[in-house]
Structure 1
Amino acid sequence: MSYKQKLSVEEKVQIVQEYLKGRIGMNEAARRSGVRRQSFNGWVRNYEADGVDAFLPHKNRIYSPELKRAAVEEYLSGIGSLSEICKNIIFGVPYSSGTGFRCIMLMETSTPKNTQEVEAT
């Protein structure tokens, strides 16, 4: 397997934009990028959510307990799917398997162990 050097931010943006404008298909975009289709699809989702910033280095996001609780409450009430809640409330980016896992972990750490104890306080 040959090694392909990483693409610059500008190159990634150009390929994603060509794909979104319908100038190239998913297979061609992934080939030009040197990544698998699934990875390129993740690039597209992230780009649609964050624009060029999706390809810039960033620190992990920190979410307040209030935001986490709101996400848990919406999920438990059935207002939205895990995907929709991760996208709209917590992350602001489309759902991916990694995002879904992080969202579930946030929900588990935000959900009170003893609901009666929390309601009493």
Structure 2
Amino acid sequence: MKARLLVCAAIAALVSGTAAAQAADPNYKPPRTSWGAPELSGVWTNTSLTTLQRPANAPTVVISQEEHAKVLARNQYSMMAKDEAGPSKVDKESSDKLLADKNSNRGYNHFWIDAGN
């Protein structure tokens, strides 16, 4: 029993030493730009899973103006753009209307939405 207590005390002493060694340097000043804002270069990424080009094996699609108008009218983004055109209304009724669909997929790309496995 004493040996077990001694081992636990030794481990606690070692761990506390490593935790204390991780304290930040009190003289550290984060880098700033020439105008005084925090320097964030090298931190952000513009990675996106949104493809900007059609696949090479995709056929060339040619549709008439009427078909184009029908497709555009059914397009979710076109409908949303039409609904959201004009100045924003920041009142309870407008917010409730916007969130009525309870859409949990309002993220930008797969970084924000975990598809799971």
Coarse TM-score class (shorter-chain normalised) = under 0.3
Bigger radius of gyration: 2
* TM, length-normalised to structure 2: 0.20
**Larger helix share, 1 or 2:** 1
* TM, length-normalised to structure 1: 0.19
